[in-house]
Amino acid sequence: MENLLFNLDKYYEEMVSIRRYLHANPELSFEEVHTPKYIANFHRELGLEVREGVGGRGVIATLRGAKPGKTVALRADFDALPIQEENDLPYKSKIDGVMHACGHDGHTATLLILAKALNEIKEEICGNVVFIHQFAEEVLPGGAKPMIEDGCLEGVDVIFGTHLWAPIPLGEVHVKSGAIMAAPDMFEVTIYGKGGHGAEPHHAVDAIVLGAQYVTQLQTIISRKISPLKHAVITVGQFEAGKAYNIISEKAIIKGTVRTFDEEVRNQIERELEILLKSLCDSANATYEFTYTRGYPPVVNHPEETKLLAEIAKDVPGVNAVKECEPMMVGEDFAYYLKKVPGTFFITGAKNPEWDMAYPHHHPKFNFDERAMLIAAKTMGLATLKFLESYQK
H or E, element range at 205: none
Cis peptide before 228 (omega within 30 of 0): no
CA distance 137 to 310: 25
pTM for the model: 0.94
Q: What is the mean pLDDT of residues 207-224?
A: 97
Q: What is the mean pLDDT of residues 210-225?
A: 97
Provide the percentage of residues in the chain whose pLDDT is more than 90: 97
> Class for domain 183-293, per CATH?
alpha beta
Q: What is the mean pLDDT of residues 129-143?
A: 97
Tell whether the model's pLDDT for residue 264 goes beyond 90.
Answer: yes
The residue ranges of every structural domain in the chain are: 2-181+298-390, 183-293
C-alpha closest to that of 73 among 305, 313, 299, 374: 305
The residue type found at 62 is T
**107 belongs to an annotated ligand binding site:** no
Q: What local confidence, expressed as pLDDT, does residue 387 receive?
A: 97
CB 148 within 8 A of CB 58: no
Tell whether the model's pLDDT for residue 210 goes beyond 70.
Answer: yes
CA distance 172 to 266: 32
CB 105 within 8 A of CB 22: yes
Q: What HEC string does 146-157 produce?
A: HHHHCCCCCCCC
Q: What is the mean pLDDT of residues 122-140?
A: 97
Tell whether the model's pLDDT for residue 152 goes beyond 90.
Answer: yes
Q: What is the pLDDT of residues 342-381, one digit of tens each?
A: 999 999 999 999 888 889 999 999 999 999 999 999 999 9
Q: Is 350 left (phi over 0), alpha (psi -120 to 50) or beta?
A: alpha
CB 278 within 8 A of CB 293: no
Q: What is the mean pLDDT of residues 187-195?
A: 98
Write the CB contacts of 282 (distance below 8 Å, at least 6 apart in sequence).
Answer: none
Between the alpha carbon of residue 252 and those of residues 30, 248, 249, 287, 299, the distances in Å are 31, 11, 7, 11, 34
- The torsion of the CA quartet 326, 378, 151, 128, rounded to 10 degrees, works out to -140
Question: Catalytic residues, which ones?
Answer: 79, 137
Q: What is the pLDDT of residues 84-95, one digit of tens each?
A: 999 999 999 999
CA distance 4 to 363: 34
Q: What is the mean pLDDT of residues 9-33?
A: 98
Tell whether the model's pLDDT for residue 393 goes beyond 70.
Answer: no
Q: How many CA atoms lie within 13 A of 105 on its CB side?
A: 29
Runs of H (alpha helix) within 314-370:
334-340
Res. 391 pLDDT band, cuts 50 70 90: confident
CA distance 331 to 111: 21
C-alpha closest to that of 167 among 355, 26, 378: 355
User: For the chain, what is the mean pLDDT?
Assistant: 97
b/e string for 25-46 if b means 16 or more Cβ within 10 A? bbbbbeebeebbebbbebbeeb
**163 belongs to an annotated ligand binding site:** yes
Q: What is the pLDDT of residues 92-106, one digit of tens each?
A: 999 999 999 999 999
DSSP 222: I
**361 belongs to an annotated ligand binding site:** no
Q: Give the sheet arrangement for strand 183-192, strand by strand.
A: 232-241, 251-260, 183-192, 287-293
Q: What is the CATH number of domain 2-181+298-390?
A: 3.40.630.10
Q: What is the mean pLDDT of residues 189-216?
A: 97
CB 250 within 8 A of CB 195: yes
**362 belongs to an annotated ligand binding site:** yes
Tell whether the model's pLDDT for residue 270 goes beyond 60.
Answer: yes
Tell whether the model's pLDDT for residue 170 goes beyond 60.
Answer: yes
Q: What local confidence, expressed as pLDDT, does residue 40 receive?
A: 98
Shared fold status for 2-181+298-390 and 183-293: no
- The torsion of the CA quartet 166, 379, 44, 80, rounded to 10 degrees, works out to -20
Write the CB contacts of 251 (distance below 8 Å, at least 6 apart in sequence).
Answer: 190, 191, 192, 193, 207, 241
Q: What is the pLDDT of residues 24-63, one digit of tens each?
A: 999 999 999 999 999 999 999 999 999 999 999 999 999 9
**100 belongs to an annotated ligand binding site:** no
